[in-house]
Structure 1
């Protein structure tokens, strides 16, 4: 392991956002901010043993910061009946604060790497506040989709039943979504955030349910940073390649770089929604390619 790990926090008065800082022994490249998806936290990108995309990039000389969204991971306080948090807050307050925090610290553009729903809220934040794009060198999206249009038995079980119906019922009972307790997620979720995701997953329009801001319309004039979208051949529901490309289209990023992992003969593994970021063979393939691409984006 060619980096050191520590924790730092961004104070937003009524809550604190945790950042796991992966500091290379020899800093060579701009900082990288990593944003996780729903029912997970920043650990999707790193482990204490040095595994994961975040650790890989840190070992290549990038200063990496893996964020925990409000209520998740080591952010304080944790999701509970006494602490709720919305998608609107994340888009309008938290993500701009994280970008600004790193930009002010390093005085240079940052790279952003997103997994799943993290890419949706990041894109929404950039579309809503296009001036943030001046501080972002590139964005990489892994399995990011806004709505789930594909139809399958797996989607019926995971989305229509578990997410859309059981999730809100659990929130009414516990005051938050206890995904860890019931073993269908790596972390718990605030109630309002869950309800906001359900709204977007099941609607065709990319409009904020809180104040009706039209993200699709704003995307048309957004000065997007260089972008690379990854989908996985065995991601059948949560980041289906079709839905990833629908997300690219509604954000006006149809011409962005797109890679379907596991589709080529020389691919090292048939990746899915999680293993695209966790499988050991990834560092020999797309992790290495991503690092080279980030270096080329200034």
Structure 2
């Protein structure tokens, strides 16, 4: 492992966001902010033993910041304590605070890398707060979609029944969605965030659940940074290629690079929604390609 790790907290309006900072052993060549998806936390990107995309990029010279959203991971307080938090708070408070913090700490524009729902929230935040755009040099998404239109037995089980019915039923009774206890995800979710997420998956309009802000309309005039979307061969529901392409279209990101991670497309493994970030072969497969792209952008 060619980097050092430590944790600290970023205060944001009554709560604290946990950040795991991974620093190379020499002067960083760039800065990366990593945002996780739903029922997850920042650990999707790193481990203490040095595994994960965050660790890989830190070993290659980047200063990497893996954030836990409010109520998740090691952020304080945790959703299981009764702390509630909405999707709009993430878009309008958490992500802007994280972007400004990382950019100021490194005195340069950052590379934003997101998994799944984190990519949707990041797009919403940048389109709603265009003042953040000069601080973001690139945006990379792994399996990011807003609506789930694909139809299958797996979709009916995971989305129609578990996510849309069981999850809110549990959240109403517990005050939060206890995904870890039910082994439905890597982390729990605040109740309001869960309900907001369900609405976005189901509704056609890409508008805010709290005040009706039209993100699709705002995206038309958004000067997006360099973009790259990854999809996985075995990602049949949570980041189906067709749903990712639909999100790219509604966010007006048609200029984005698009890569399909599967053997038929030249990859070493047929990846799924999680393994595209955690599989051991990724360090020989798409991680080096992403690294080369980031290094080229850093040299501009």
Question: What's the TM-score, normalizing by structure 2?
Answer: 0.98
Offset, 1:13: 3.6
Match of 1:15 in 2: 15
Aligned partner of residue 177 in structure 2, secondary structure: coil
Deviations 1:143-187 (A, max 9, x none): 000010100000000000000000000001110000000001000
Match of 1:55 in 2: 55
Partners of 2:227 and 2:255 within 8 A in 1: no
- The alignment status of 1:107 with 2:139, answered yes or no, reads no
Partners of 2:238 and 2:273 within 8 A in 1: yes
Offset, 1:82: 2.5
Moved more, 5-14 or 49-58: 5-14
Partners of 1:133 and 1:225 within 8 A in 2: yes
Moved more, 76-85 or 97-106: 76-85
Moved more, 270-279 or 256-265: 256-265
Partners of 2:261 and 2:270 within 8 A in 1: yes
- Structure 1 stretches of 4+ with a deviation exceeding 4 A read none
Match of 1:202 in 2: 202
**Structure 1 residue ranges without an equivalent (≥5):** none
- Mapped to 2, the partners of 1:122 and 1:16 lie a distance apart of 19
Offset, 1:263: 4.5
- Mapped to 2, the partners of 1:205 and 1:81 lie a distance apart of 33
Offset, 1:265: 5.4
Aligned partner of residue 20 in structure 1, secondary structure: strand
Aligned residues: 298
- The alignment status of 1:46 with 2:46, answered yes or no, reads yes
Partners of 1:81 and 1:174 within 8 A in 2: no
Partners of 1:119 and 1:144 within 8 A in 2: yes
Partners of 2:234 and 2:273 within 8 A in 1: yes
Partners of 1:164 and 1:198 within 8 A in 2: yes
Deviations 1:18-65 (A, max 9, x none): 000111112331110000000000000001110000000000000000
Moved more, 257-266 or 235-244: 257-266
RMSD over aligned CA atoms reads: 0.9
Question: What's the TM-score, normalizing by structure 1?
Answer: 0.98
**Structure 2 residue ranges without an equivalent (≥5):** none
Partners of 2:263 and 2:269 within 8 A in 1: no
Match of 1:220 in 2: 220
- The alignment status of 1:173 with 2:173, answered yes or no, reads yes
Deviations 1:109-160 (A, max 9, x none): 0000000000000000000011111100000000000010100000000000
- Mapped to 1, the partners of 2:69 and 2:83 lie a distance apart of 13
Match of 1:74 in 2: 74
Partners of 2:72 and 2:188 within 8 A in 1: yes
Offset, 1:106: 1.2
Match of 2:188 in 1: 188
- Mapped to 1, the partners of 2:268 and 2:208 lie a distance apart of 39
Aligned partner of residue 56 in structure 1, secondary structure: helix
Offset, 1:10: 0.7
- Mapped to 1, the partners of 2:167 and 2:248 lie a distance apart of 27
Partners of 1:113 and 1:139 within 8 A in 2: yes
